Amino acid sequence: MSIKLTDLKSTLFAQLEALEQPRDVLKSPQLKEAYAAIPTLSPGERSTFGRDLNGLKKELMLAIESRETLMQQADLPPIDVTAPWDVNKSPASLLPVNSGSLHPLMKEKARISDIFARMGFVVEESREIDDQLHMFETLNFPKGHPARDDYDTFMTTQVDANGEALIAPAHTSTMQHRMLKKYKSNLETKNGSIAVVVPDRVFRNEDLDARHEHTFYQVEGIFVAKGVHAGMLIATLKEFLQTYYAQELDVRVNPFYFPFTEPSFEFALSCPFCEKKGCSVCSQEGWIELLGCGMIHPNVLKSAGIDPAEYTGFAFGCGIDRLVMMKYQIEDIRHFHGGKLNFLRQF
């Protein structure tokens, strides 16, 4: 017997993969030759060869059907697996595809930046991966300082040139050293100053609840010049907040501790919703603790090459999400990243 079924099988399956019409493989001359050879065999060989050849043809038929199915599926339009309904439900009410809108955080981030720009501040961007030098050391957090633990910093598996793990910044203050160095030459001009805000995204290892998210936005501000004092800090923040909330506000400061400012304050404003009478937004206190601020620590100025005996400055950091929540009385910070259309349509 000159026909080997193993060779025939390899030949037929190779032809099947190359054909545009899978069933044309059944017309293969090699297959016809194999069936034509059956009558020429001895009775013992004929039975075995015929059985094995029919088994090969069954395998071939299954492969043909499988290939036809795949080819039919390839011609079908793609299925949107994210579609929120099935054949028994009516289509959901979606946002129109011919128009888009800014996310509320992005809209308010732009508004905040515009207010500070009109007050004379330069607006800069932060980084989403940074090193521990700018997260801690340049901000007067020496190695081993216990205050480092307060920031619940996300560490990555990547390391910098010093072998220290890179981080996801826990505050936009990581840009403070860079901005002081970048704009230091401004101080050499007549009445020169450094005035910068950095609104951007930050990350902390927080337990999620209505007021805490692991990813949120912050605006960092610094101002350095000759003769800067705490009264200027309070006046600047009050002017910004009154412009943002479009109403007169009372403010107060309480002593606090930050390694990168001295003295340091917690800044509170009168509740813009109840006029200090007490409501759910201010927890019936009439005041809302809003941000941390203070006079830039001399060590922070020195690290940027600025003489603290000649120049002073202030810095502040405020959560943008919290400003927006207060402005629109949003009860849960998780709405910002939840993708809920009912929430987004309000903006």
Q: Can you give the pLDDT at residue 249?
A: 85
Architecture of the CATH domain 104-126+170-344: 2-Layer Sandwich (3.30)
Q: Can you give the pLDDT at residue 9?
A: 84
How far is it, in rounded angstroms, from Cα 192 to Cα 188? 6
Alpha carbon distances (Å) from 8 to 13, 33, 45, 107, 112: 9, 10, 17, 69, 76
At 238 the three-state DSSP class reads helix
Domain ranges of the chain: 5-74, 104-126+170-344
Q: Please classify residue 217 by burial: count the beta carbons closer than 10 Å to its beta carbon, then call 0-12 exposed, 13-18 middle and 19+ buried.
A: buried
Q: Can you give the pLDDT at residue 123?
A: 96
Spell out the SS3 assignment of 266-290: EEEEECCCCCCCCCCCCCCCCEEEE
The model's pTM: 0.68
Q: Are 113 and 199 in contact (CB under 8 A)?
A: yes
Residue-by-residue pLDDT tens, the chain, 347 positions: 556 778 888 888 888 888 888 888 888 888 888 888 888 888 878 888 888 888 888 888 888 888 888 877 666 666 666 665 666 666 666 656 666 678 899 999 999 999 999 999 999 999 989 998 999 899 998 887 776 665 678 888 888 888 888 989 989 999 999 999 999 999 988 789 999 999 999 998 887 777 778 899 999 999 999 999 999 999 999 999 999 999 888 889 999 999 999 999 999 888 877 778 887 767 788 888 889 999 999 999 999 999 999 999 999 999 999 899 888 888 888 888 888 888 888 88
List beta partners, residue 200. Answer: 218
- Sheet with 251-258, strands from edge to edge, namely 122-123, 194-203, 215-225, 312-319, 287-296, 261-270, 251-258
Q: Can you give the pLDDT at residue 293?
A: 95
How far is it, in rounded angstroms, from Cα 108 to Cα 316? 18
The token duo for 39 is 């009558």
